[in-house]
Amino acid sequence: MPPDAPPASTLDQGIVWLGRTVSWCVPIMALLVLVIVVLRYGFNTGAIAAQETVQYLHAAIFMLGAAVALQADQHVRVDIFYRRFSERQQAWVNGLGHVVFTLPLCGLIGWGSWDYVTDSWSAREASPEPGGLPFVYLLKTLIPAMALLLALQALAQIARALTILRQRGSA
């Protein structure tokens, strides 16, 4: 989907909103790193909670940004033949690729992380570092959240591919 195209569905609109929201993590993270460096080298003091906050923000950017990148067609693609394909051929590649690769991977990640995350929630897992954040269970929750969001976006992309494939007269 071109960047200037209007979102096609409620899911697309939600993913666009998520992308805009998560994008604020980048400048916040950069500012926080600046503060950590000034504290460490200017005042010879550490800030474990701030360092962990940077890690949490970094994780949020990547884990929640995966579906955003897929929706904006900015994900990694080995593009040897794809760019020369017709719109219909690209729809076949995208649709089958999501069915064969993306959805099973999301299922594997979601299923595989479930016990890991539920155990963390039941223990209300906190940082092992003194002065660290008590929210490790929330950080771990990003794993199945990423799998779910990516799977939902893959389903939207499959629906988009099917719409293209159903059109008559496409080359």
Q: Has residue 87 got a pLDDT over 90?
A: no
Q: What are the residue ranges of helices labelled H in 8-102?
A: 10-23, 25-37, 43, 48-71, 87-97
Most confident range (mean pLDDT) of 9-18, 39-48, 160-169 is 39-48
Percentage of the chain modeled with pLDDT above 70: 93
Q: 22-32, pLDDT tens digit by residue? A: 999 999 999 99
Q: Which is it for the CA torsion 90, 92, 96, 99, positive or negative?
A: positive
Q: For the residues 36-63, what does the mean pLDDT come to?
A: 92
Residues 6+ apart with CB under 8 A from 53: 32, 133
pLDDT of residue 101: 94
pLDDT of residue 7: 45
pLDDT of residue 8: 57
Cβ neighbours, 10 Å, residue 157: 21
Distance CA 1, CA 160 (A): 9
Q: Given pLDDT bands bounded at 50, 70 and 90, which one contains residue 33?
A: very high
DSSP code of residue 100? I
User: What pTM does this model have?
Assistant: 0.82
Indicate the domain borders of the chain: 10-166
